[in-house]
A and B are shown apart, each in its own frame.
Chain A
Amino acid sequence: MDSLLYLLVYPQRPLLTTRTIELVGYDKLGAGQNATVAVMSYSGYDIEDAIVMNKSSLDRGFGRCIVMKKFSAVNQRYENNASDRIVRPLKVGHDAERMQILDDDGLAAPGEIIKPNDIYINKESPIITKGPLISPVGLPDSAYKPSRQTFKGPEGEASVVDRVALCSDKNSNLCIKFLIRHTRRPEVGDKFSSRHGQKGVCGTIIQQEDFPFSERGICPDLIMNPHGFPSRMTVGKMIELLGGKAGVSCGRFHYGSAFGEPSGHADKVETISKTLVKHGFSYSGKDFIYSGITGCPLQAYIFMGPIYYQKLKHMVLDKMHARGSGPRVMLTRQPTEGRARNGGLRVGEMERDCLIAYGASMLIFERLMVSSDPFEVQVCRVCGLLGYYNHKLKIGICSTCKNGDNISTMKLPYACKLLFQELQAMNVVPRLKLTEA
């Protein structure tokens, strides 16, 4: 079973194909949708390759996708012949709520709606796993500790258990696989791409009535900023737009190679333009468009037509992350790193440089110590080394001078204290000279 699977809900065949696409069979197994694209600026949420999307199109299923994720569990057999067991879920008690989706066999049932922190397998492991062989049956309940597996999915979203499969792994242990499905509609931050490598993130989602419209009633599905074209020189995308537009008008799939081929397997822009004119469009593919907000015509003609867009698997739901307080690394006592470990967001070297240049010293102090790894130390004013706090005598004592006469208490980052100790271990003496004590 694949551990991760992305499916598009309503895939379409591209309106503009090439010979290669036909040979490969891409037109038989589409992976995108023909979106009506308007190449124009709209609202400012479309800078830097961002795209503006039409909410009604999203409501109707544009860019909707299904994400299937595999979760597996093994019924392990241990050295002493004891093995894990899967037990009937609790009907009462404080964990009962998290076990609602379990069947009597202790496994989540297909079709159940699963939320984060729900238990999908009610497994118990024996407490003693080593030592002399014991008979696997007849172990009392007290010999087991719960080792339930909880579902960790996107917070606040409901997923569905799609499939449950039982099999045996290579050590002939019982292996249970859960396929969990989540249907997503596009949201701000999801990534889309045309077939010309023009990838962009959804910048904003706008109501259909605010979207520009043409006299024919055509309203684009998405708006792309024209600044994507000059530097990228994706002429193919413009040809795709023209060919696609001609294709929808005359009902024939066009070929989109850049130059007309002698075999006649490609449509020249010239012939495409003729088709457009025949169906009442401008030869250039530009349309006269009204603003949906004011109802007044836009000042420029807008290059508008269908382009095949694919949804890419980079979705904000899988990436978004924030942290208030949370886990810390044991060694340095600083916040952990990375989304998977609920880590903090690093104020790096360059960010620090900016703050120094600006002179925001208190902010640097707060970010680099107070919110990171503050640590209280006892410093000896005589020898400049770190001492310790004696809880019995309630005084700080310098272990080098063997007294507590000249001790000052101060705060420094734990990582700093760690560095001092590591230096000392290397026979380097770091001494602190305190200006005010």
Chain B
Amino acid sequence: MEGVSYQRFPKIKIREVKDDYAKFELRETDASMANALRRVMIAEVPTVAIDLVEIEVNSSVLNDEFIAHRLGLIPLTSERAMAMRFSRDCDACDGDGQCEFCSVEFHLRAKCMTDETLDVTSKDLISSDHTVVPVDFSDSSGYDSADKKGIIIVKLRRGQELRLRAIARKGIGKDHAKWSPAATVTFMYEPEIHINEDLMESLTLEEKTSWVESSPTKVFDIDASSQQVVVADAEAYTYDDEVLKKAEAMGKPGLVEIYAKEDSFIFTVESTGAIKASQLVLNAIDVLKQKLDAVRLSEDTVEADDQFGELGAHMRGG
């Protein structure tokens, strides 16, 4: 088997990229690869999130732990996170996690002086580092961007006060969901739909419409002029088998054949705003590479060669 390589060269085609949304196709690879990418995006791409809260004054209605939990879940912009150090292996601060290399300090001071309730939001968090700030959700398109909108932490009434210091640290989603940069990461197999034209033509228009409408999603359509059934949007198909069942119920099994392409995936990625969706994908690939390197370079691999033989050699790029 010497010289046989199973290496594949996956291809990515980007369909749509927005700041917090990306849709792309991943082709010429298999489910394990696609799933590894998905899992890394959810659980192992690092971000920065508030991890330690020191409360000076809290006379609000919510208790300290409650506020600390809410603060932790606020997404912070973390483009810098990949380059930052984990506070547990930071040399500069002996692991207490309070130095500039591994942490960012936040301050919050709010006191309600009026009779109107005061919303304390993520905008009130003052960061010591301008690259790590609470994510700004105000829509740039102008839709009520005038008034400040942030994530509400707590509401204060007259005389109530909240004063605290918070330390944000780098972390990964595996430890706590607050460090997960992904709101939604999902993929689907690309469906391949073949309509049996001959059989389809044996249907009346009425039957065709009822068949088309049996799908909960709009996968098929009837061409207005030719009255032929066409595939309107193959990806809308949710593998629900409804159309197949309908065809069988109509006595026309094999009216349509639907397969899932085993080697192409359509990814949908939504980010929390901590990092851009496109960056999230790139970071995930980096993390995945690092993990593979760790396997390849670990001292055990030589010993593992006896055990796994070709596989070990293959992983080391052989």
Interface residues of A (CB under 8 A from B): 9, 55-57, 59-61, 64, 66, 111, 160, 162, 181, 183, 207-209, 213-217, 276-277, 280-283, 287-288, 290, 292-297, 301
In angstroms, Cα B178 to Cα A208, docked, is 12
Residue on A nearest B265 in the bound complex, by CB: A295
What's the least CB distance linking A164 to chain B, in Å? Answer: 15
Q: Mask for B183-201, Cβ within 8 A of A = 1, else 0?
A: 0111111000000000000
A9, A160, A207, A287: the one contacting B64 at CB < 8 Å is A160
B38, B177, B187, B240: the one contacting A56 at CB < 8 Å is B177
What's the least CB distance linking A392 to chain B, in Å? Answer: 64
For this complex, 24 residue pairs linking A to B, each with C-beta atoms less than 8 Å apart, are A9-B66, A55-B177, A56-B173, A57-B177, A59-B177, A59-B178, A183-B65, A208-B173, A208-B177, A209-B38, A215-B238, A216-B186, A276-B216, A277-B216, A280-B216, A282-B242, A283-B216, A288-B238, A292-B35, A294-B31, A295-B31, A295-B187, A296-B31, A297-B189
Q: Let me know if B260 is at the binding interface, CB within 8 A.
A: yes
Whether the Cβ atoms of B63 and A160 lie closer than 8 Å is: yes
Question: Chain B residues with Cβ under 8 A from A288's Cβ?
Answer: 238-240
Asked, given contacts A59-B177, A209-B42, A215-B186, whether A294 binds B35 with beta carbons under 8 Å apart, the answer is yes
Q: Let me know if B231 is at the binding interface, CB within 8 A.
A: no
Whether the Cβ atoms of B32 and A208 lie closer than 8 Å is: no
Other 15 A-B pairs with CB < 8 A, given A209-B39, A297-B189: A9-B69, A60-B73, A183-B65, A208-B180, A213-B186, A216-B186, A217-B185, A280-B236, A280-B238, A281-B216, A288-B240, A292-B39, A294-B35, A295-B31, A296-B31
Whether the Cβ atoms of A217 and B43 lie closer than 8 Å is: no
Asked, given contacts A160-B64, A217-B270, whether A295 binds B238 with beta carbons under 8 Å apart, the answer is no
Q: Let me know if B98 is at the binding interface, CB within 8 A.
A: no
Question: Chain B residues with Cβ under 8 A from A297's Cβ?
Answer: 189, 239, 260
In angstroms, Cα B234 to Cα A215, docked, is 14
Residue on B nearest A55 in the bound complex, by CB: B177
In angstroms, Cα B64 to Cα A294, docked, is 40
A57, A60, A181, A276: the one contacting B63 at CB < 8 Å is A181
Q: Let me know if B217 is at the binding interface, CB within 8 A.
A: yes
What's the least CB distance linking B232 to chain A, in Å? Answer: 14
Question: Chain B residues with Cβ under 8 A from A213's Cβ?
Answer: 186
In angstroms, Cα B300 to Cα A388, docked, is 67
Most buried by B among A64, A217, A295: A295
Q: Let me know if B174 is at the binding interface, CB within 8 A.
A: yes
In angstroms, Cα B66 to Cα A296, docked, is 38
Question: Chain B residues with Cβ under 8 A from A217's Cβ?
Answer: 184-186, 268, 270
Whether the Cβ atoms of B177 and A60 lie closer than 8 Å is: yes
Residue on A nearest B30 in the bound complex, by CB: A295
The secondary-structure label for the interface of chain B is mixed
Residue on A nearest B217 in the bound complex, by CB: A280
What's the least CB distance linking B268 to chain A, in Å? Answer: 6
Question: Chain B residues with Cβ under 8 A from A208's Cβ?
Answer: 42-43, 173, 177, 180
Whether the Cβ atoms of B217 and A61 lie closer than 8 Å is: no
In angstroms, Cα B65 to Cα A282, docked, is 41
Whether the Cβ atoms of A207 and B240 lie closer than 8 Å is: no
Question: Chain B residues with Cβ under 8 A from A293's Cβ?
Answer: 35
Q: Let me know if B50 is at the binding interface, CB within 8 A.
A: no
Whether the Cβ atoms of B65 and A160 lie closer than 8 Å is: yes
In angstroms, Cα B93 to Cα A273, docked, is 59
Question: Chain B residues with Cβ under 8 A from A281's Cβ?
Answer: 216
In angstroms, Cα B287 to Cα A112, docked, is 41
Whether the Cβ atoms of A209 and B43 lie closer than 8 Å is: yes
Q: Let me know if B176 is at the binding interface, CB within 8 A.
A: yes
Whether the Cβ atoms of A214 and B216 lie closer than 8 Å is: no
What's the least CB distance linking B271 to chain A, in Å? Answer: 12
Residue on A nearest B44 in the bound complex, by CB: A209
Whether the Cβ atoms of A183 and B66 lie closer than 8 Å is: yes
Whether the Cβ atoms of B216 and A282 lie closer than 8 Å is: yes
A111, A207, A214: the one contacting B43 at CB < 8 Å is A207
Question: Chain A residues with Cβ under 8 A from B186's Cβ?
Answer: 213-217, 290
Question: Chain A residues with Cβ under 8 A from B58's Cβ?
Answer: 111
Residue on B nearest A66 in the bound complex, by CB: B63
Question: Chain A residues with Cβ under 8 A from B167's Cβ?
Answer: none
What's the least CB distance linking B177 to chain A, in Å? Answer: 4
Question: Chain B residues with Cβ under 8 A from A61's Cβ?
Answer: 69, 73
Question: Chain B residues with Cβ under 8 A from A287's Cβ?
Answer: 238
